[in-house]
Each structure stands twice: as structure tokens, then as C-alpha cells.
Amino acid sequence: MISDANLKRLPRENVETYPVRTPSQRPELATVEIGLNAAIVAVIDNEPMVLVVRETGNDASSPEGLPFGPFAPREHRTLEGGLRAWVGEQAGLDLGYVEQLYTFGDRGRHTDPGDAAPHVVSIGYLALTETSQIEDPQRGQWRSWYHYFPWEDWRKGRPEILEAEIYPKLREWAERPVPKGAPQRPVSREDRARICFGLDGTAWDEEKVLERYELLYEAGLVEEARRDGREAALSWSPAPKFGALMRYDHRRVLATAIGRTRAKIKYRPVVFELMPPDFTLFELQRTVEAILGPHLHKQNFRRLVEGAGLVEPTGDVKTRTGGRPAKLYRFRREVLLERPAPGVRVKPGRVV
Amino acid sequence: MISDANLKRLPRENVETYPVRTPSQRPELATVEIGLNAAIVAVIDNEPMVLVVRETGNDASSPEGLPFGPFAPREHRTLEGGLRAWVGEQAGLDLGYVEQLYTFGDRGRHTDPGDAAPHVVSIGYLALTETSQIEDPQRGQWRSWYHYFPWEDWRKGRPEILEAEIYPKLREWAERPVPKGAPQRPVSREDRARICFGLDGTAWDEEKVLERYELLYEAGLVEEARRDGREAALSWSPAPKFGALMRYDHRRVLATAIGRTRAKIKYRPVVFELMPPDFTLFELQRTVEAILGPHLHKQNFRRLVEGAGLVEPTGDVKTRTGGRPAKLYRFRREVLLERPAPGVRVKPGRVV
DNA sequence: AGTGAGAATGCTCTAACTGAGCATATTAAA
DNA sequence: TTTAATATGCTCAGTTAGAGCATTCTCACT
């Protein structure tokens, strides 16, 4: 099952050839444009949602994108400050929890139909908001993040799109000869597809959201690859378009955001950024499951959350749950002042 | 011990006031310069080292910095490609494992004596190399990372600098009134100092390297703060200078690198990037201890590493260990193809 | 050659934690 | 009043982590 061919080092990026430059010369810093993008996440009715906007003035058929804006160093002292300003304005939201995700700079992955494709370095951010705080966003709307990544939705078991569409295409791609111009990868296409997408009995790792998207992009199986003129995308006919397109490289940013959220929820108490002030433990569990995938053991989940001191009862109960009333809890913010505050430590991906 | 005053949300950045901008106008992307910096880490003689360079032409008294260079989008297709090019040239190294750390963009934290302080966004990278691979770096030299962060060196127990110098200064700083212009923090100075530096019996979290450095910067206790003209730095006399200065914001990048290395070593098999091809289990343990802090239980470490399938015996032994010969092992690269490859799962920070 | 120090390696014991399931309590709806 | 649905409490077994004891080798020194 495991081929260890060409396994010498951890995967590294394509090795390019570099122009020789005299080291003694003072490096001249080249200027580029910086785009700040935010994946703003909320859980609404047990559905993980992300806020998307359509560029003003464009028709309804233009692809959606994340709220974004340029970084104007004269106006904003910090990157995050610039982000909060743009998003506050574009989406009509005051962001609470914000964290930087990653900085993307690949040439040719920030194109937009009609753009002259200037070189843009895009810095992705993740923001978590709670439903009760959401005023109606002025522009833009909430969409399930699974709208863009249907293969990530394991809440009803393994998504059909995997067996029916993605796996066959990936296997076909893996068997093609690797073009000469392409980077020499230390891991074979077959192994990469197997590890990312859980083929051949390999476990599905719900954190590898970005890796999966990037693999689909490389294989030309998402629309962005075709838009960017990637060779692999032109080889399919009809062109498979898995998940909904986003503008620029925003789907990549969103993939990073989902992966980071899934990872972080397990070791930092960030779920509570998505919860209203008071909640039942089962509501908390549903929120975790919306993000990670379902089927957590209810009793053990309670034990873990209570045992870690993450919550405290408010004293009230919530009736009309359909059964026995549920105690209401609130987040114990003091845990942030205590030793390394844990997340909801749940074993992921036990769905088959 | 725990004050919960003002605890409303997770810490957020300073809230600035933003100029109002018509949302309908197409955002004009402002241009800035991008600096790529690499913290290149190796463990030499059980000492975690980082490669530093001095700017060519400058005298020996100018501060050292990390290898860095501008991102030239026309020359390099990707950010990482640009980094590899600059570093390969500046340091005479061919980097293996590289990962992006963080993108810093704060105004006023990239200054250098004599610079006109253009706005620079700096992207930090972490690179791990193995000793046997290191050709003598053409420029620059290896320095212990504890040279820049003496308070992080717990290999001989709690570093003296903490009790003797840092704690008193931090307590004094915590008791000062917060200036009106400063950001309203949801957590008090006292709590922040306690949590970051393990005061009053709070556990020392060896991963919070960046948080500690940033707190010292904010309190004006590192030389960079004075260099940048921070108000807090001017209030001390004589000015405390904890750890060695670095150029630009490079000490901040290095702090991020140390924290990330310490975190990642526990859940991904990245130690092996620092090891020669063959090694004994005790050598591996020493390397982990150099990074995390010492005093791992030898027998349990062996059990964990072997049990996780991270290594396999080469069949050879190493004599002249001072005792019974030690079996030599090599990294099982195949684990990268198996289920989520673990790191060396050790409970950190048990040193008192 | 014999001996002891120093290191590597094997094994055991116990406490804590995790996954799983049974049992009971408390509602709303039929 | 009964029944279904949910919340909540509790038990039990398998696994793992932390600690320590015991044994096996080599080398340096008598």
C-alpha cells in the first residue's frame, strides 16, 4: 500500500533556477501590492458559514469572494488594523477574534477576468464571530463553507462526490505521466492523492483541507485552475468543477481557514467565539460537530468540557429542547488566564 | 491569584480609528516592500543554533540579523522560491525543510539606524537543517538562539535572569498606570506578565516565546524598543537590555521560529530534519531537549519514539558512548505516507 | 584477567484518561 | 396517563503516560 519511492526529504517546493546576484549589493526591496482577505466564520443553525461578497457594480454572475481590501500602510499602522477597517466597512461587521492564516504570493493565482494581473501578495485571515453578534451584513451574505468544499462535508458520512467523481479523476490523474516541466516531487501523485483524500483505506484527516484543495487545483479539477490557465485543467473534457468558484485565490484562503479552525478548535478554546453567551452543552457539541464532523459521544463530550473547566453553569435551564430541560452554561473566560487553555479535545474523523 | 477584570473577549489588537472610504470605489492596492527573512536552525553539539549575518560593509558593531532579501516578483514565482534564492546566496546554504511563520507589518518595527524607514512587510520563515549537511556558511555564523533569548534557556533549571532581573522589572511595569494612548487590553498587565512568564506559580509554557518577547518589547525591556523610540523604553534608566539585539524585527521573527519549532516538534516528525541520517536514540533525545528543555524520561522517550514507528534500527551500533554501545537508528520516512505522522509526543516544561 | 563506572536497554507497576454503554431524570406531546 | 425524546449521571474496560527497578554491555583502570 505504501510506496517509498523517491522518499528522501519532506516535500519541498519546486526548485527554480535563480539569477545570480552579487551578494555585496544592498538588496533593493521590490514593491508589490498587498491584499488582505478575511474568512469570517459563524455557525448558524448548526451550519458553518462564511461571509462572501460580490464586487460592487459587477453582475450577479461574477464569482463571489471573501471581503478584502488593500493594505494601505499610511492609513493603518498594522496589517490586522487594515483588515478590520476594510471588513468593517465592506461587511458592516465589527470583528472580534481575528488570526492571521498565511501569506500567499504565487504568481498567476490572483487573476480575475479582466484584470491585468498585477502581482499581489495576499494575506489571509480567519475571523470567528458569534451568531448573536451578527447584525445583518450590509453587503454580502452567509454561505455554508461546504458550498465551496462539498467533499469536506462528512456530516452524513462520506460525501458521495468523493467515490462518484473525485476518486476516479484523481486516479486517472495519478496515472498520467508527470510533465517534464513540473516540479520533481519526492512523493508520487498516487501517494499524495491517497494521503490527502483517504484513498485505499487511508484515514481521512479532516485538517488537510488546504492540501486537498491544492491537489485538486494541481490536477486541474477546480475551476480556478482553468481560469488561471493551468495546463492540467485544459486536459479534462468536460471540465470537472468541484465546489463553487471564488474570486482571486479566495478559495485557497478559505481552505486554509477551515483547516486552521478544525485544528485549533482541538487545542484552544476558540469554539466559544462562535457561541452565544449562554448555551447548552449539546448546542456546544453541535457546533463542534458542524466544524469537525459529527458523531461525538455525548456523555464523554460533556465530561471533557466540564472536566477541563471550560464552562460553568449559569443556573438557568433551557426548556423546549424536546425532552428534559438542558442546563445553560457559559464560557469560563478565566481559563484563558490559567495554564495553557485547552480546546475541546475530541478524537476527530471517526465517521465512516 | 486570578483576576478576571475586564475579561470580555480574547485579546484583540488595538482598535484604531479608520478613515471612512466609499465602499463602492474599487480598492486601489497600495504598494509596499516585502522582506523575506529566514530563521535557519540547526542543532550543533546539543545547542540550538541560528544562522545570523552581518550586513556587508558594515562594521562589526552593527547588529546581526537573519539572512534576508526582498521579494522580487518578476524573478521568483513564489515567496518561498525567492527566499531560497536569497538565502542560498547570502548564506551559501541549500535549504531543505522550510515553512512560513508569520507576516509582520507593524509600522515602525523595521527600522535600522540610518534607514529612512520605508514601509516594509516582513515575512518570516523557519528552516531546519541537519548538521551533517552544513557546509561552512560563506557569510554569517551560527549562534545559540539562547544568545538572543536567555530567559528561554531552561536546560539548567529556571534561568537566573528571570528572578534576578526580568521579574522585578515586569512587576514594576505592571503596576504603572497604563498610558491613555495605549490600547485598551482586555487582560491586565499583571495577568499578561504572569501568564507569559510564569509568575506566581503559573506554569511556564515553553511555546510562548513570541508572547514573551512582545511583552518585553511593549514594556521597553529589549533594545529594539528603545531603537524604535517606544515610550516605555525611555522610562528605564539604565535601560535594561535583555538578550542580544537583532536588526530590523528579526528578533521577533526568531522568537516566532523558536515557538513554532517547539510546538511543531511535538506533533510532526520535524526533529529528524535536524538529525544526521543515523543517530542513537539518546542523541535524538538530546536534540529534542535542546529545543524543548531537558529532563525527558529516557526509557519512556525510547518507548514513545520506537512505538510510534518513527525510527528503525540500521543494524549498526555506535561505540565509545562511554558505556554500552548504542544501537543506531534512522528516520522511517515512510511514516510521512502513513496516517497523520506524529511528532515526539513529550510532556513539555516539567523542569522546575 | 578482573572490576567497577557509565551508559543502553528491557520490563513492571500504577494512575489517569478515553471510548463505550447502561441507567435514571425530566420534559412535551399523544 | 403513557410514550417518546432528550439530558444527565455513572460504570467498566482498554490504553497510555509517568516513574522506577533491573539487566546488559563497554571501557578504563587495577
pLDDT in tens, B287-307: 999 998 877 889 999 999 998
Check if B237 contacts A (Cβ < 8 Å): no
Cβ neighbours of residue A352 closer than 8 Å, sequence gap 6 or more: A157, A158
CA torsion angle for B329, B99, A263, A255 (degrees, to 10)?
-130
- Is the model's pLDDT at A22 over the cut of 50? no
Residue A160: the pLDDT is 93
- Is the model's pLDDT at A176 over the cut of 60? yes
Residue B132: the pLDDT is 62
When scoring B2, B14, B22, B31 by the number of chain A Cβ atoms within 10 A, the one with the most, hence best to mutate, is: B31
From the CB of residue B180, how many other CB atoms can be counted at a distance below 10 Å? Answer: 6
- Is the model's pLDDT at A215 over the cut of 80? yes
pLDDT tens figures, B252-271: 999 999 999 999 998 899 99
Positive/negative CA dihedral, B289, B293, B295, B301? negative
Check if B92 contacts A (Cβ < 8 Å): no
Check if B70 contacts A (Cβ < 8 Å): yes
- Is the model's pLDDT at A17 over the cut of 60? no
Q: What is the pTM of this model?
A: 0.88
- CA distance to partner chain A, nearest, from residue B249 (Å): 14
Residue B9: the pLDDT is 38
Q: Which of residues 270-309 of B touch strand D (CB under 7 A)?
A: 297, 299-300, 304, 307
Instruction: Identify nearest nucleotide to residue A308 by CA to C1′ distance.
Output: C17
Residue A185 near residue A211 (C-beta atoms within 8 A): no
Query: In angstroms, rounded to a whole number, what is the distance separating the alpha carbons of residues A294 and A297?
Result: 9
Check if B79 contacts A (Cβ < 8 Å): yes
Per-residue pLDDT, averaged over A237-247, amounts to 90
Chain B residue with CA closest to A89: the answer is B23
- CA distance to partner chain A, nearest, from residue B202 (Å): 7
Q: Which residue's CA is nearest to the C1' of nucleotide C6?
A: B323
Look at B70 and A29 and tell me if their CB atoms are within 8 Å. yes
Would you call A47 helix, strand, or coil by DSSP?
strand
Model confidence at A14, in pLDDT bands (50, 70, 90)? very low
Residue A270: the pLDDT is 93
Give the residue with greater pLDDT, A237 vs B311: B311
Residue ranges in chain B whose pLDDT is less than 70: 1-31, 55-60, 111-118, 132-139, 339-352
Model confidence at A251, in pLDDT bands (50, 70, 90)? very high
- Is the model's pLDDT at A200 over the cut of 90? no
Check if B330 contacts A (Cβ < 8 Å): no
- Is the model's pLDDT at A352 over the cut of 50? no
Lowest mean pLDDT among A40-44, A200-204, B76-80: A200-204
Which of chain D's bases lie under 7 Å from a protein CB? 4-11, 17-21, 24-28
Q: Which residues does chain A have within 8 Å of residue B256's beta carbon, measured at their own beta carbons?
A: none
pLDDT tens figures, B41-99: 999 999 999 999 886 655 667 788 999 888 887 788 889 999 998 887 777 778 889 99
Chain A residue with CA closest to B10: the answer is A97
AA letter at A246: M
Q: Integer distance in angstroms from CA B346 to C1' C11? A: 21
Look at A30 and B33 and tell me if their CB atoms are within 8 Å. yes
Look at B3 and A337 and tell me if their CB atoms are within 8 Å. yes
Closest in B86, B103, B340 to A79, CB measured:
B103
Model confidence at A118, in pLDDT bands (50, 70, 90)? low
- Is the model's pLDDT at A172 over the cut of 90? yes
pLDDT over 90 for what percent of chain A? 47
- Is the model's pLDDT at A254 over the cut of 50? yes
Residue A26: the pLDDT is 40
What is the residue whose three cell numbers read 510564569? B198
Positive/negative CA dihedral, A229, A230, A231, A232? negative
Q: Integer distance in angstroms from CA A318 to C1' D1? A: 25
Per-residue pLDDT, averaged over A162-167, amounts to 95
Give the residue with greater pLDDT, A51 vs A348: A51
Residue B151: the pLDDT is 96
- Is the model's pLDDT at A60 over the cut of 70? no
Residue A51: the pLDDT is 92
Look at A78 and B29 and tell me if their CB atoms are within 8 Å. no
pLDDT tens figures, A275-323: 999 999 999 999 999 998 877 889 999 999 998 889 999 999 988 878 8
Query: Which residue from B347, B211, B210, B202 is spatially nearest to A334, judged by alpha carbons?
Result: B202
- Is the model's pLDDT at A168 over the cut of 90? yes
Query: In angstroms, rounded to a whole number, what is the distance separating the alpha carbons of residues B1 and A273?
Result: 25
